[in-house]
Chains A and B, each alone.
Chain A
Amino acid sequence: MNAGKLLSYIILAIVVIAFVVSIALKGFLVTVGAFLTLFIFSFLYKDNPYYKFAEHLFVGASAAYWMSMGFWKTMVPNLFGKLYPPMVAWAVPALKNNPAQPLMLIPLVLGILLLMRLSSKAGWISRWALAFIVGTTAGLNLVRYLRSDFIQQINNTVFSLYVTNASGFDLGATISNVIIFGGVICGLIYFFFSKEHKGAFGAGARTGIIVLMITFGASFGYTVMARISLLVGRMQFLFGDWLGMIR
């Protein structure tokens, strides 16, 4: 047996002993949570079997989690509960007296058609169900993006560049409005690649980069803070809930 293998067995023995001791002292669930947290943190050293274990467990469990959620939160109240309410009255009593809606047979049929993808000969028929999803999503997105990402954003950008308040001219607000208006225009110029970034157009694009860099910096800062707060949460779990060092 080589040294590497021996070391991995020693580590495994330590993990198993620590796991058993922790269960005895702190209980099963907290121990499982703590060890899975440590397994994931072990990736900071390098990819290893403990990390892979937690990663694969997560893939399987989360797939089943979303399936269960989809079944109980969508299929039961929205499909079975509307097709034939008495069928799900035991799970969702509020639906018991609702009238049956035969139209809900359509998504059931389309859903079954989608499952035909598993068949090598009749797989093409699943395209009908897929086409339905793609069509509704495309139509929905067309209106949604037109309204919220295009018209609304332009609407919020077109404002007065000369701001006054009760005491007269408001220099700070005016500068801010000018920066917002100019920043949006220059940002859009930067993303417009159909014309070469030269002359006045190029100057606009270069100003656009400045505003974009500030935004990227701010987004970076935000991301770091969000991840740090998650890290703090995990540390509180390990040192508080598990080890009891934080009261």
Chain B
Amino acid sequence: MKRRVPLAMVFIVSLFMVIQYFVPLDSLAWMYQYLLDWTIIIGVFALLLGIWSLWHVSYGKIKQRAENWQYSIVTLAGLFIMIISGFIPGWGNLNNYVYEHLFYYVLVPIQATMFSLLAFFISSAAFRAFRARSILASLLLFAGLVIMLRFVPMGPVSTVVADLAGWILRVPNMAAKRAIIIGIGLGAMATAFKIMFGIERSYLGRD
């Protein structure tokens, strides 16, 4: 019951997902749509587990006065304010004032700024790593520079740089990307087969 049932479930469900693609019957398409909906719904239950875990870890830190426990109060405050604003009965759905403004004035600034921080770190990394020490490094440097300069207004040179950037993206870039994607595809298919036939079973955990 602990291991065989889940392994059998994985095999049956994954086999069905494969079969429905190759056998275009209405009944299979109908079941396929149900399975997709069910997976998404169960995924939301998994989110609940995540919320519980966050609460458990943060509350534990506060209770034990662990290092930096004060910040856990901030985490829980953010969690509860957002949950209350999103769930209060009567506010109906996500189009309520508090929820929307928390999103636009708390989440968006933090997230966008965190990602924009990478502009500084990537520049600093480039300063150290982008040296034309070999032909391969020079190619990397050249391609990076052309792509970065393609939107920079430089008079008559702009057209040449934009054309070159377009060619790099359409030809050598696409060639390597395709090789990488084919490799990813093969790896993903192999992993899916391993899961399907119970060779890969780390999702079951121990015991």
- Indicate if the CB atoms of B117 and A41 lie closer than 8 Å: yes
Q: Report how far A183 CA is from B144 CA in the complex, Å.
A: 18
Q: Is B160 an interface residue (CB 8 A)?
A: no
Q: How far is the CB of A138 from the nearest CB of chain B, in Å?
A: 4
Using Cβ atoms and an 8 Å threshold, which residues of chain A touch B117?
Answer: 40-41, 43-44
Q: How far is the CB of A207 from the nearest CB of chain B, in Å?
A: 10
Binary interface profile of A, 54-76, with partner B (CB < 8 Å = 1, else 0)?
A: 11111111111111111111111
| Segment 15-71 of B: residues with Cβ below 8 Å from A | 15-18, 21, 34-52, 54, 58, 68, 71
How many residue pairs at the A-B interface have CB separations less than 8 Å? 402
- Indicate if the CB atoms of A136 and B189 lie closer than 8 Å: no
The one of A32, A41, A56, A63 in contact with B74, judged by C-beta atoms closer than 8 angstroms, is A56
- Indicate if the CB atoms of B86 and A215 lie closer than 8 Å: no
Using Cβ atoms and an 8 Å threshold, which residues of chain A touch B158?
Answer: none
B92 and chain A: residue at smallest CB distance: A91
- Indicate if the CB atoms of B107 and A61 lie closer than 8 Å: yes
Decide if the interface of chain B is mainly helix, strand, loop or mixed: helix
- Indicate if the CB atoms of B99 and A59 lie closer than 8 Å: no
- Indicate if the CB atoms of A127 and B6 lie closer than 8 Å: yes
Q: Which of A6-14, A163-171, A195-203, A225-233 contacts B (4 or more CB under 8 A)?
A: A225-233
How many residues on the B side are at the interface (Cβ–Cβ under 8 A)?
125
- Can you offer 9 A-B residue contacts whose CB atoms are under 8 A? A52-B68, A58-B106, A59-B54, A65-B103, A107-B37, A124-B2, A130-B6, A153-B182, A179-B175
Spell out B's residues near A (CB within 8 Å).
Answer: 1-3, 5-7, 9-18, 21, 34-52, 54, 58, 68, 71-72, 74-83, 85-87, 92-94, 99, 101-120, 122-123, 126, 136-137, 139-148, 151, 167-186, 188-189, 191-193, 195-196, 203-205, 207
Spell out A's residues near B (CB within 8 Å).
Answer: 29-30, 32-34, 36-37, 40-41, 43-44, 52-76, 78-79, 90-92, 103-104, 106-108, 110-112, 114-115, 117-118, 124, 127-143, 145-146, 148-150, 153-154, 156-157, 176, 179-188, 190-191, 208-218, 220-225, 227-228, 230-231, 233-234, 237
